[in-house]
Amino acid sequence: MSKHHVEMTINGRRHASDVEARVSLADFLRDDAGYTGVHVGCEHGVCGACTVMVDGKAVRSCLMLAVQADGSTVTTAEGLAAADGTLHPVQQAMLEEHALQCGFCTPGVVMTLAALTGDNSKPSEEQLLAAMSGHVCRCTGYQGIRRAAKKLAAAGDKV
Amino acid sequence: MKPAPFDYIAPATITEACSAIAEAGGGATVLAGGQTLMPLLNLRMSQPFIVVDINKIPELKGIARVNGGIRIGPMTRQCEVIESEVLARDLPVLVEAVRHVGHHQTRNRGTVGGSIALGEPAAELPATAVALGATIEARSIRGTRQIPATEFYLGPYMTSLEPDELVTGITFPDWPKGHTTLFNEVAQRPGDFALVGIVGALVIESGIISRVGLGWFGMGPTPINARSAEQMLRGKSLSEIDLQAVAERAVADTSPFDDHHASAEYRRTVGRRILARTLRDALKIREAA
Amino acid sequence: MSAATPLSDNHADTDAETRADKDTSTGITTGRYIGQRVRRKEDPRLLTGRGQFVDDISLPGMLHVAFARSAIARGNILSINTTLARDVPGVHAVYTQQDLASYKVAMLTFFLSPPDVETTPLANGRVVYVGEPVALIIADTRHIAEDAASLVEVEYAEEDPVITIADARRGPPVHPSMSDNINAQMGDEEIDVALDAKLKSAPHLITHKVVHQRISQSPMETRGVVASPEGKEELTLYITCQSPHMVARWTSLALGLPQTAIRVIAKDVGGGFGLKNHPWKEEVAAILAALKFGRPLKWIEDRYENLIGANQAREQEMVLQVAFDADGKLIASHGDYSVNVGAFPQLSECNIAVHMFVWAAYHMPAYGFLTRGWYSNTVGYAAYRGPWAMESLIRETALDVAARRIGIDPIEIRRRNLVTLKDQPTTSCMGIPREDITPAECLEKLLGCFDVAAFRKEQAAARKNGRYLGLGIAAYIEPTGSAGAIGTMTGELAQVRIEPTGKVTATMSTHSQGHGTATTMAQIFADRLGVSYEDVTVFEGDSSRGGFSPGAAGSRQGVIAGGAAIVAADLLATKVKTLAAHLCNVRVDAIRIEDGMVHVSGAPDKSRTLRSIAEIAYGEPDKLPPGFEAGLEAQHRYQPPPMTFASAANACVVEVNADTGFVKILRWISSEDCGTPINPAVVEGQIAGGLAQAIGTVLLEEMSFDSRGNPTTATYKDYLLPLISDVPVFEFVHANTPSKSVGGMRGVGEGGAIIGPPTLVNAIADALAPFGEVPVELPLTPAKLLSVIEKRDIAAHAKPEAIKAIADTGSQVAAPQTVLTPVVETAAPAAAVVDGDWKMVLSTPVGPQEMKGHFETKGQELSGYLSAAEGQQGFTGTVEGNRVKFDLKVEKPMKITLKYDLVVEGNKISGKVKMGIFGSAKLAGERL
């Protein structure tokens, strides 16, 4: 069983560690780097709770090995808000639209929306909603998530 | 659900990868996009000695024109297929098929090669390869060979790849500009495996179908090339086509499963319908044009 | 208005609007915060990934637990070899039930009654379901623990399992101590003759069957516990649960740890839905292992374990006969109900609540029932959002079937039979008092927002084009905020204080797994105290603070904790005003608290901060009025009325695709009376969540097993949860009337999951009415719907190898050791047979009730007493041969006369107890 040295940038900070090959990126972010905001809901890539950004793209961190993220830039929900605590526009929209209840699926939803609306991209409401089909929420019936997506798409139009 | 222990290497060249696979004597598994392999590892349904990660091999990437076709590197991410201008222009049905694979998030990592090499009978890409007449290149330390997609799939998750072979390219032959595309998938939720699906392409010249490729997914232990139906269409003028008869014949070539998601009879019933409807809609567009 | 046009979206997000209105038409109070869509306090933390769920807890010295689980559904364990497992580097211990046997554990039910069958944390010599935990591994990491688990070798003598209700009726007992597979039974095995006559002679008789699939609650956060023994008689549990207090109480009693200071902490929980009311096998095994091993242990259930090993719900069958007169008015009804409770149900369940509530919203003169829970070799039963939901599903779909059969509009048939406010107070035929229910009014309000006539036109036109639109309507009432009838369903405690800093801190016995109670209670405190919402912090989620409550169970927290918060806040406000009045030398009613400032009417210069008042209250006792308790603290435990009803009517429009059988939901309107909505966004969120689960129940979800009891839906690839594309935008019509509880709230947590399924099924049935009736066998998969359209069975699988007949297995199964066979002794004179003391157990819906019976006979006269924990009660009756009959009048849970009818055979006594409207319960016992 092989162990590997990995270095990656997580939420703007360099993180270096030694990790067993079989450890998922999700578990590595949680246990090694301390980002427990990455939630593990199914470990087979369906529920989306573990979604993070790797090199700007939304990916299921339970379906990546930590060792595969060596050299990458990773962002989790903990890394979105500004240093002064101002919420990221995605977080703000979800707060305003009551888009969460228990909060377990939430960081994953936040990361997909953040990845799609980042970097001056202007996704349509349809594109955001389509990407939301990669997330399972058992609490909200997706009502607030829909409203947040609508709000974010409209905000993109205004820019 | 944590994987059993395994060794891991991420070689930088195809040669290194093939050596590592051969050395493992059947105990290696190839990691491409990971969207299918990781769940299998997590569930301990797959317990390889070594995982050979091919993500770092530049030669496996890329979409390139070759003589008479387009060659797609196996490490081409599904999201790259959707964003490719070349494919949008030259192989739109492949782009359409990939849009239905999984979700946005899985397409960011999932690869063309991974899906092709897995051979899930209800998946879109193997059926597309079969329908369009693609060729799969397989390489090992013993050499390279080309396998027609129609001969590649042997059973559920069983392909004619030898244990020491790696898929190194998928080449789709050219279909003429303006060819008619066919795609219809019946799935309960977006991203689910299809209950039944049809994919293909047609070329119509002077009102006659001069070329046709049709493939089923979710209708048997492998993607199914609807050869008899193709025969019924090839050389026919649009007005002569009996869609119901073609659909009947196409379904007759299939052997769908009963499983938790649908019965075989459901698949046959709905398969017949969607093939007839998809052909009708595609040909109407042609007639109008 | 087209069917698909929604109502206008009227969400107004208000942070600081000042409104204090009482809507004169509804009597619902709103305030600056109460009734407003205030943003949740929990959200910034949860959105930035700073939640604290059980898997986020890490303690020094903590190790990890995994389980080796049974691969077969039924059989004796011949041997367990843990040698290889223990040798894996990083493994610290491997325990089997033998290693935990020194801990006497009673796996109590939610009502804290003992289980009906021996239930141990790990399998004890025998396994009774696939996935049953057999061994527990402690290791440095979860990875290593799983490596070791895969090396535990178990040898079984496998037996043929009993899987379905049908199997359970005829198959060998799942539990050797039982003589059959009935876990609980109430009602009459023979339908009452008079009732039967009413049914058979009615102008219209509908016999309606519902087959309901098994559901997994499947919260996004699975089960888990970190158990930390912290010294003799000190135990801390971090556990994902629905009430830390309930868990602490349950653990103390179940594990027999009366002296142990148990602290249960659950700050954030990712959904419960009934699964996490109290610990079960794995959690208890992990806790015991921690006590034995002496270090903190963490067990986090993975999703595969959750889908095969966490208790499940809803696998039921019911046949409802409903008789109507010529005008479609209800005459009589009978229900025959069965539920599959698996091998180890978390409570004795025959779902009596289904029968209590099936006709509670309607004028139904006569109802009889037989209701049974059946054991099987599958993972056991636990509560799931609205456990009695079958009552609404079967009734509302039966009403639509009747409407179609008789030729009455489905809305009209409801109008003719629903109990309206004008009809109240009235009592249902099952003894449910109806004083405060508004299902009819909710329906009328709903219809005011939906043009049914226009829809019917649209539907007719669509049918001509081969498109099948359908409209489904359902109405119901729901018992919420229940308290006082069952020991664990208590009131709620609110403790609130104004700190010396002027900030308001409250601790509640509430618990949120998404409910947002820290927000809604803060809204109440802020409103009633006159401070800003930002200045209120509500703490919950720790059994060391607040007082006992069962937490989130039975749609109760808004009602009960809301009432407690109101009273506690008012007590505290009075204290502030009393002190301020004293300090300013004015009357108490001249004092007003607003926005954290204390004002004196007519003297604006006397305004001062709440903080200044608080500083005096705590720190300057000389300034306090005589008799004034120092500080600014108040608490109240609110005991609400025994039951507070919520009512609702829902409508949905669907299109069923005739080619594929797929269902598309075009529109859904919820018209709900939830009393005072503390936060409409929270209320709508609860309803929407329940409705989404209903959609999953009707169209997608199904836990299934093969004939060997292997779960075949063990991942999310097969167990399909509703995604955003499956759930429409819901429209909400608030038809609120204040309840009689303090604050006027009504519970809303479970409602969507109860009224949702019949609304959707009715819409589908309406869409396909031209083809015939849709058999209500959930889920209504595309194949099943296509079968209705094409009038042939499209859904059936081809028959594979013949399934072994259960009847054959009798000879292969070793005879259970403790089968209850009647002991026939030589007949003795009646006196000798009956007289004496008996230890008896009555099987009630809240669990087995133990009692002692003392009988004395004199000829054919019987006298004696029954004594139980609650006390002793005498009776007189008759004896005939060895048959004993007597009556006992009781007050709890309701005023009924219990009629005992028992037979003595040697040293065994058994028979039935007729419990008034509750039907009959079984009694069994033996001579002391």
Q: Please judge whether B260 and C790 are an interchain contact, meaning their C-beta atoms are less than 8 angstroms apart.
A: no
Instruction: Quote the mean pLDDT of chain C.
Output: 91
pLDDT of residue C16: 30
Q: Which of B1, B189, B266 shows the shortest C-beta gap to C786?
A: B266
Q: Which of C303, C693, C730 shows the shortest C-beta gap to A43?
A: C303
C812: pLDDT strictly greater than 80: no
C815: pLDDT strictly greater than 70: no
- Asked if A115 and A56 count as a contact pair (C-beta separation under 8 A), the reply is yes
- Mean of pLDDT values over C53-71: 98
C376: pLDDT strictly greater than 90: yes
Q: Which of C231, C283, C292 lies closest to C262, judged by CA?
A: C231
pLDDT of residue C818: 27
- Asked if A132 and A145 count as a contact pair (C-beta separation under 8 A), the reply is yes
Give the model confidence (pLDDT) of B173-227 as tens digits: 999 999 999 999 999 999 998 999 999 999 999 999 999 999 999 999 999 999 9
Q: Please judge whether B104 and A22 are an interchain contact, meaning their C-beta atoms are less than 8 angstroms apart.
A: no
CA distance B73 to B137: 10
pLDDT of residue C895: 65
Instruction: Say whether residue B8 is in contact with chain A using an 8 A CB cutoff.
Output: yes
pLDDT of residue C25: 59
C752: pLDDT strictly greater than 50: yes
Tokens of B137: 């290149």
Confidence of residue C302 (pLDDT cuts 50, 70, 90): very high
- In angstroms, the Cα distances linking C369 to C320, C359, C893 are 9, 12, 19
- Mean of pLDDT values over C126-134: 98
Q: ipTM for the complex?
A: 0.98
For chain B, the first-to-last Cα distance in angstroms comes to: 54
Give the model confidence (pLDDT) of C613-643 as tens digits: 999 999 999 999 999 999 999 999 999 999 9
Which residues does C873 contact at the CB level (< 8 Å), separation at least 6? Answer: C865, C866, C867, C888, C890
Q: Which of C49, C513, C727 shows the shortest C-beta gap to A77?
A: C49
Predicted TM-score of the model (pTM): 0.91
- Asked if B169 and B74 count as a contact pair (C-beta separation under 8 A), the reply is yes
Q: How far is B14 from chain C (nearest CA, A)?
A: 31
Confidence of residue C877 (pLDDT cuts 50, 70, 90): very high
pLDDT of residue C141: 98
Q: Is the peptide bond before A107 cis (omega within 30 degrees of 0)?
A: no
Residue numbers in B near A21 (CB within 8 A): 5-8, 51
pLDDT: which is higher, C908 or C87: C87
Residue numbers in C near A136 (CB within 8 A): 220, 716, 721, 723
Q: How far is A73 from chain C (nearest CA, A)?
A: 18
Q: A98-107, C461-470, C815-824 — which is least confidently predicted?
A: C815-824
C807: pLDDT strictly greater than 80: no
Which residues does B57 contact at the CB level (< 8 Å), separation at least 6? Answer: B11, B12, B13, B14, B17, B75
Query: What DSSP state is assigned to residue C421?
Result: G
- Asked if C906 and C823 count as a contact pair (C-beta separation under 8 A), the reply is yes
Give the model confidence (pLDDT) of C142-163 as tens digits: 999 999 999 999 999 999 999 9
Residues listed for chain B: 289
- Mean of pLDDT values over C359-368: 98
Looking at C784-860, which runs of residues are DSSP E strands?
836-844, 847-858
Neighbors of chain A with 3 or more C-beta pairs under 8 Å: B, C
Q: A124-133, C110-119, C711-720 — which is least confidently predicted?
A: C110-119
Q: Please judge whether C712 and B2 are an interchain contact, meaning their C-beta atoms are less than 8 angstroms apart.
A: no
How open is the CA angle A94-A100-A104, to the nearest 5 degrees? 120
Q: Please judge whether A45 and B4 are an interchain contact, meaning their C-beta atoms are less than 8 angstroms apart.
A: no
pLDDT of residue C99: 98
- Mean of pLDDT values over C680-685: 97
Tokens of A62: 């339970």
Give the model confidence (pLDDT) of C230-267 as tens digits: 988 899 999 999 999 999 999 999 999 998 999 999 99
Q: How far is B195 from chain A (nearest CA, A)?
A: 18
Handedness of CA C307, C308, C310, C314 (dihedral sign): positive
- Mean of pLDDT values over C66-95: 98
Q: Please judge whether A63 and B109 are an interchain contact, meaning their C-beta atoms are less than 8 angstroms apart.
A: yes
C11: pLDDT strictly greater than 70: no
pLDDT: which is higher, C31 or C334: C334
Confidence of residue C918 (pLDDT cuts 50, 70, 90): low
How open is the CA angle C194-C393-C219, to the nearest 5 degrees? 140
- Asked if C364 and C292 count as a contact pair (C-beta separation under 8 A), the reply is no
Instruction: Say whether residue B101 is in contact with chain A using an 8 A CB cutoff.
Output: no
Residue numbers in C near B189 (CB within 8 A): 700, 720, 723, 725-726
Give the model confidence (pLDDT) of C883-910 as tens digits: 999 998 876 656 678 889 999 988 889 8
pLDDT of residue C24: 59
pLDDT of residue C744: 96
Q: Which residues of C520-549 are buried (b: 16+ CB within 10 A; e: fewer)?
A: bbbbbbbbbbbbebebbebebbbbebbbbb
Q: Which of C40, C693, C724 shows the shortest C-beta gap to A98?
A: C40
Q: Please judge whether B109 and A22 are an interchain contact, meaning their C-beta atoms are less than 8 angstroms apart.
A: no
pLDDT of residue C915: 76
Q: How far is C660 from chain B (nearest CA, A)?
A: 6
- Asked if C116 and C70 count as a contact pair (C-beta separation under 8 A), the reply is no
Burial of C625 (0-12, 13-18, 19+ CB in 10 A): exposed
Confidence of residue C833 (pLDDT cuts 50, 70, 90): confident
pLDDT of residue A11: 98
- Asked if C268 and A103 count as a contact pair (C-beta separation under 8 A), the reply is yes
Residue numbers in B near C720 (CB within 8 A): 188-189, 192
Which residues does C99 contact at the CB level (< 8 Å), separation at least 6? Answer: C292
pLDDT of residue C161: 97
Q: Please judge whether A94 and C43 are an interchain contact, meaning their C-beta atoms are less than 8 angstroms apart.
A: yes
CA distance B191 to B197: 13
C828: pLDDT strictly greater than 60: no
Q: C68-82, C707-721, C790-804, C834-848 — which is least confidently predicted?
A: C790-804
pLDDT of residue C820: 27
According to DSSP, the β-strands at B143-148 and B153-155 are unpaired
CA distance B86 to C320: 62
The number of C-beta contacts closer than 8 angstroms across A and B is: 94
pLDDT of residue C12: 35
**Residue entry with tokens 């148990």:** C262
According to DSSP, the β-strands at C776-777 and C836-844 are unpaired
Burial of C467 (0-12, 13-18, 19+ CB in 10 A): middle
- Mean of pLDDT values over B86-95: 97
- Mean of pLDDT values over B86-106: 97
How open is the CA angle C664-C666-C671, to the nearest 5 degrees? 125
Q: How far is B174 from chain A (nearest CA, A)?
A: 30
- The strand pairing partners of B217, in sequence order, are B197
- Asked if A90 and A97 count as a contact pair (C-beta separation under 8 A), the reply is no
**Which of C39, C47, C58, C302 would best serve as a mutation to test chain A binding (most A beta carbons within 10 A)?**
C47
Q: Which of C878, C885, C854 lies closest to C867, judged by CA?
A: C854
C819: pLDDT strictly greater than 50: no
- Mean of pLDDT values over C456-485: 96
Q: Which residues of B270-289 are buried (b: 16+ CB within 10 A; e: fewer)?
A: bbbbbbbebbeebbeeeeee
According to DSSP, the β-strands at C908-915 and C896-905 are antiparallel
Residues listed for chain C: 928
How open is the CA angle C6-C10-C13, to the nearest 5 degrees? 145
DSSP track, C68-85 = EE-SSSSEEEEEEE-HHH
DSSP track, B82-106 = HH-HHHHHH-HHHHHHHHTSS-HHH
- Asked if C114 and C51 count as a contact pair (C-beta separation under 8 A), the reply is no
